[in-house]
Structure formats: structure tokens, C-alpha cells
Amino acid sequence: MERRRYLATAGTTVALGLGGCLGLTRGETNYDIGMRPSSFDPVEVTVSVGYKVVWENTSSRAHTVTAYEGGIPEGAEFFASGGYADEETARRAWQNSLGGGLQTGEQFSHTFEVAGEYQYFCIPHEQGGMRGMIIVEE
């Protein structure tokens, strides 16, 4: 009996682990972009104008979602977790009090109203290459 219980538990664990590798997990969740320890997943997403992108911190480290002011289309709204109005304020808030940080399981969303390419990053992991891009099409 114990062996059967072990095999059932092990089989379920392996199936759940492989589900993430096969892309099954994302379809069952309510986010578009996950956050690994030092990267966004996926790094690039293409959406239509008016689409609301949802990021979720799927790692055990705190992350931010912060637009590069020079990396968004002219006339587009700046976005940052924490609701900051510009990149400098978002960076300062993180440095002073970890402002804008998303903990495990927390989400941030932004609706993209202007077509173009949007470059964004995670403030504490920017130097490690945690950057992403949203491509918004008409």
C-alpha cells in the first residue's frame, strides 16, 4: 500500500513538473508573463492594441515591472509596478523602500493603448539581464 501511495504521489509530481515544460501551466493561469529568479517568461510577447498584459511573480524573489522611459512609443503611458509616474521615481522607490516590488504570487497589469515596442525591466535584477519586450500591434 505504501509503495502505491508513493508511486501515485511521485507520478503526480512529475506530471505537474512536466506540465510547465510543455506549456500546459500558462494556459491554466490568469497571467501572460511569469517571473523567474532572473528573467521574464516569456521575454517577448506580442499583443493587440487595447490588450491588458498581466505579469505574475512566479519566483521566490521580489521583482518589479518597470518601463524604460526611452523604450516606449511616443504618446504611450509609462507603466511600473507600484504605480510610479516615471522611471526615476520607480528606481528611487525601490532603492529607498523596495517600492513597487512584487512578492511571490502578486500580479501587476497594464493595458497597452498605443501600438509599438515597449521595453521594460526588473529594477533589482536589471544588471543580471532581466528585461522584456511587449510588441503591440494594431
Question: 65-108, pLDDT tens digit by residue?
Answer: 999 999 999 999 999 999 999 999 999 999 999 999 999 999 99
Please report the DSSP string for the chain in residue order. Answer: -HHHHHHHHHHHHHHHHHHHHTTHHHHTSS-SEEE-SSSEESSEEEEETT-EEEEEE-SSS-B--EE-GGGS-TTPPP-BTT--SSHHHHHHHHHHH-TT-B-TT-EEEEE--S-EEEEEE-GGGTTTT-EEEEEEE-
Every domain of the chain and the residues it spans: 1-29, 31-137
**Whole-number Å distance between alpha carbons of 88 and 42:** 26
Decide which of 24 and 43 is more confident.
43
Q: pLDDT (tens digit, 9 = 90+) per residue, 54-70? A: 999 999 999 999 999 99
Question: What pLDDT score was predicted for residue 113?
Answer: 98
Per-residue pLDDT band at 35 (split at 50, 70, 90)? very high
User: Whole-angstrom distance between the N-terminal and C-terminal Cα of the chain?
Assistant: 59
Q: Rounded mean pLDDT of 20-37?
A: 68
Q: Is the pLDDT of residue 24 over 70?
A: no
Q: Is the pLDDT of residue 111 over 70?
A: yes
Global pTM?
A: 0.79
Neighbours of 77 (CB within 10 A): 14
User: Phi/psi at 136 (nearest 5 deg)?
Assistant: -110, 125
User: Do 108 and 123 form a contact (C-beta atoms < 8 A)?
Assistant: no
CATH superfamily to which 31-137 belongs = Cupredoxins -  blue copper proteins (2.60.40.420)
Q: Rounded mean pLDDT of 15-28?
A: 41
What is the average pLDDT score of the chain? 86
Q: Rounded mean pLDDT of 26-39?
A: 85
